Structure 1
Amino acid sequence: MSREGAEHALRARADERDRISGDLLDLESHTTYQLLKGAALRGPTQQRWAAAQSALATVWTLYDAYRTVLRDAEQFKAARGRLDGGELAQLTELLAGSSVVLRAAAKPIEQRSLLPDADQRLTLDETVTRMDAHFREVTAALTEIDAAWTAALPRLDGADAELRQVRDLQQELGEAQDLSQAENDLKRMRAAALADPLGSPPGPELDRVARLLASARADLERAVQVKDDYARRREELSAALDRVRAAESEARLAHGAVVVKIALPPQAQPRSRAESLAADLDALDVSADGWVTRAGRLATLEQSTQEAAGQARATAKALYGLLGRRDELRGRLGAVEAMATRKGMAEDPDAVRLYEQARLLLWTAPCDLTKAAQAVDLYQRAIHGGKR
């Protein structure tokens, strides 16, 4: 090197040393590094972190050797004024030659021989390259472990918060549910995630516990709402039961009006559910069950009441629809008779016989709609030459 080149290289190495020192200090002050230093790790995480610590120890060993050479170079330069050729060569050897000496590590007795192990000699550039490789190994381990913690701990925190909400709701209701298993599972999963985030990440088991707690919270929130609004919802349910009674009354009237005109099977007789639902409501009023159970029963009763009213209205509509079906068949019969007249078949004996069979069925009370529809179809096919 020239004198200017050596001085420039010395300044650049000093800047490099300060930057590396800052990076190493930043690494050791990193939050995840500090957590790992005091953590009781196990499993794959412990193995990964042990390898990272070994790599970091190597970085410090290399850095100390690097810094020693650089200090020697700075002292050599400071002790002399203008360097002559020999001194410049010595400084150049420190800065560019294989000046970094790594002493051979002591080996266990079973790995030794009587021949000495050779020390390693590296240039400053080679030393920095090795430091960088080991440094990257440490930061990669930190990044992977930190990512595993970041993925696991917020989910566990969320489940713990859900558990606290469930406890608060239980206290508000004065009702207890046994959640000790879920609580123990969360503690166990948190301990595992802290000790071995790489090997024991919470997965389906945490999903199961989270679903259980969410379901429990939903049940308790519904119970609190029912407890607060029971009087109002009971009044609304009583009004809904009145509507069921009215709808069932209309269905019975429809059945009475239709059964004399249309042949109905026994099962077509409308069945009342209103009184049974009212009895369920009375039983709910005096129930000794907790509010979680009562909330479920009330929701079921409200749904059943709504279904009963809808079913009764549908029954009445279907019954009156049978009269419309009979009238529609009568209309078809008349239209086919008119066509028979136009085609000159009004006096055809077979056609007359089929017409009379259909007319008799349709104008007989109660009317058998199934047989009447078949009779109209037979008459229509006869007039249309076998086609409807």
Structure 2
Amino acid sequence: MSREGAEHALRARADERDRISGDLLDLESHTTFQVLKDASLRGETHRRWSSAQESLAGLWSLYDAYRAVLREAERVRGAHRRPGADELARLTELLSGASVVVRAAAKPVEQRSLLPQADELLTLDEAVTRMDTAFQEVTGALNDIDAVWGSVLPRLDGADADLRLIGELERELGESAGLDAQEAELRRMRAAVVADPLGPSVEPDLDRVARLLASSRAEAELAIVVRNEYARRRENLAAALDRVRAAESETRLAHGAVVVKIALPPQAQPRSRVEALSTELDALDASADPWVSRARRLAALEDDARRAAEQARATATALYGLLGRRDELRGRLGACQAMAARKGLAEDPAAGELYERARALLWTAPCDLTRAATAVEDYRRAIHGGTR
């Protein structure tokens, strides 16, 4: 190695040493690393982190040997202003040769031999490669543990916050949602994640508990609202039932007006829901159920009242629509009669018979709309030669 080559190699190795030193210090100052130093781990995480710690101890030992070689190289270079052949040979041996001594590891007595254990010699490049392998093992374990903690622990914190909020709402309501089992589950999951983040995932259980807590929280919040607004909403519901009565009354009037003119099946007789809804409202007023349950019943009763009014109005509209359908068929029959006259079929006996049959059905009360529609279609086809 030339003098210039030795100078360059020594500077590069010094920069490399400083970079490795910085990376190792950053590793050991990492928050998760500091937590793991004093953590009581178990399971897969204990196995993985124990292996990583062994690799880290070996890394530091190798790093000390690596630095010793560089210190010796710097001493040789600093001994003379202009290194001679002997110094350059020594620098070449240190910087390019197998100069890093890796001491044979002490083994348990059951694994020892009475034969001497040879130390291992590595070049600086080989030492750096081996240190990097150990570094990657440690950071890999650190990142895997940190990823689980970073993902699951905030979710556990959120679930705990929901549980506390539900407890506050329960105290305000003077009721209990009975979430002791979920509280115990959260404690169990947190203990498992803290002690063994790389073990079996708790996320399926956490998903289930989080959904239940979110639902319980929403119900408790709704119960507070319902309790505070019950008088107003009860008054609004009574008004909604009045609207149901009015709509059902209109339906009965429509049925009465239509049934004398249009043949209706028995199931078309309007059925009232307002009495059942009123009974449910009275039961809700007298209920001693928890407010969470009463909130659900009140919301359901409000929806039922709205749908009952809508259904009654729709039924009345449909009933009156049957009269419109009869009038439409009468108009079609008249149009077909005019067409028959233009075609010279006004005196045709067969067409005339079909016309009279349709006319009799449409002008008979109550009118059978199904038979009348068929009769009008038969007459139309007759005057069109059987085509549509």
**TM-score scaled by length of structure 2:** 0.93
Q: Specify the alignment match of 1:44 in structure 2.
A: 44
Indicate the residue corresponding to 2:247 in structure 1. 247
Match in the other structure for 1:146: 146
Cα 1:337–1:76 change in 2 (3 A) is: closer
* Cα distance in structure 1, aligned partners of 2:269 and 2:90: 116
Determine if contact 1:263/1:368 at 8 Å carries over to the other structure.
yes
1:21 is displaced (CA, Å) by 2.5
Q: Separation in 1 of the partners of 2:14 and 2:333?
A: 111
- CA–CA distance in structure 2, aligned partners of residues 209 and 125 of structure 1: 53
Q: Which amino acid aligns with 1:100?
A: V
Show the counterpart of 2:209.
209
Q: Distance between the aligned counterparts of 1:63 and 1:92, measured in 2?
A: 20
Change beyond 3 A, Cα 1:16–1:335:
closer
Q: For 1:65-105, what per-residue CA distance to the aligned partner results, in whole angstroms no more than 9, with x for missing partners? A: 12223333444555666655434433443343322222222
Confirm whether residue 125 of structure 1 aligns to residue 130 of structure 2: no
For residues 2-47 of structure 1, give each alpha carbon's deviation from its aligned partner in whole angstroms, at most 9, with x where no partner exists: 4555455445444433332232222111111111111222222222
Taking the aligned partners of 1:340 and 1:96, their CA distance within structure 2 comes to: 116
Please say if residues 39 and 195 of structure 1, whose CA atoms lie closer than 8 Å, have aligned partners that are also in contact.
Answer: yes
1:95/1:124 contact within 8 Å kept: yes
Aligned partners of 1:255 and 1:100: how far apart in 2?
104
The SS at the match of 2:385 is coil
Match for residue 192 of structure 2? 192
Q: Are residues 1:312 and 2:295 paired?
A: no
Question: Which residue of structure 1 aligns with residue 23 of structure 2?
Answer: 23
The residue number in structure 2 matching 1:361 is 361
Identity of aligned residues (%): 71
The one-character-per-residue Cα deviations of 1:207-234 (angstroms, maximum 9, x if unpaired) are 1111111111111111111111112111
1:152-301 equivalent positions in 2, closer than 5 A = 152-301=152-301
Q: Measure the CA separation in 2 of the matches of 1:382 and 1:87.
A: 124
Counterpart CA distance in 2 for 1:367 and 1:186 is: 70
Q: Is the 8 A contact 1:219 1:292 kept in 2?
A: yes
**SS of corresponding position for 1:263:** coil
For 1:121 and 1:183, the matched residues in 2 are separated by 57
TM value normalised by structure 1: 0.93
**Residue identity opposite 1:90 in structure 2:** R
Separation in 1 of the partners of 2:82 and 2:254? 122
Supply the distance in 2 between the matched residues of 1:195 and 1:172 (Cα, whole angstroms): 36
Question: More deviation in 103-112 or 274-283?
Answer: 103-112
Contact 1:152 1:201 survives alignment (8 Å): no
CA contact (8 A) 1:148 1:201 kept: no
Match of 2:134 in 1: 134
- Does residue 1:105 correspond to 2:115, yes or no? no
CA RMSD of aligned residues (A): 2.1
1:229-281, Cα deviation, whole Å (9 max, x unpaired): 11211121111111111111111111111111112222212112222212221
Unmatched segments (≥5 aa) in structure 1? none
Distance 1:267 1:85 in 2: 117
Determine helix, strand or coil for the equivalent of 1:121.
strand
- CA distance in 2 between partners of 1:41 and 1:227 (Å): 48
Correspondence 1:330-369 to 2 at 5 A: 330-369=330-369
2:70 maps to which residue?
70
* Partner Cα separation in structure 2 for residue 155 and residue 335 of structure 1: 74
Q: Give me the whole-angstrom Cα distance separating, in 2, the residues matched to 1:8 and 1:348.
A: 121
Partner AA of 2:20 in structure 1:
I
CA distance in 1, matches of 2:330, 2:12: 109
Aligned residue pairs total 388
Name the SS for the 1:178 alignment partner.
coil
Structure 1 SS opposite 2:65? helix
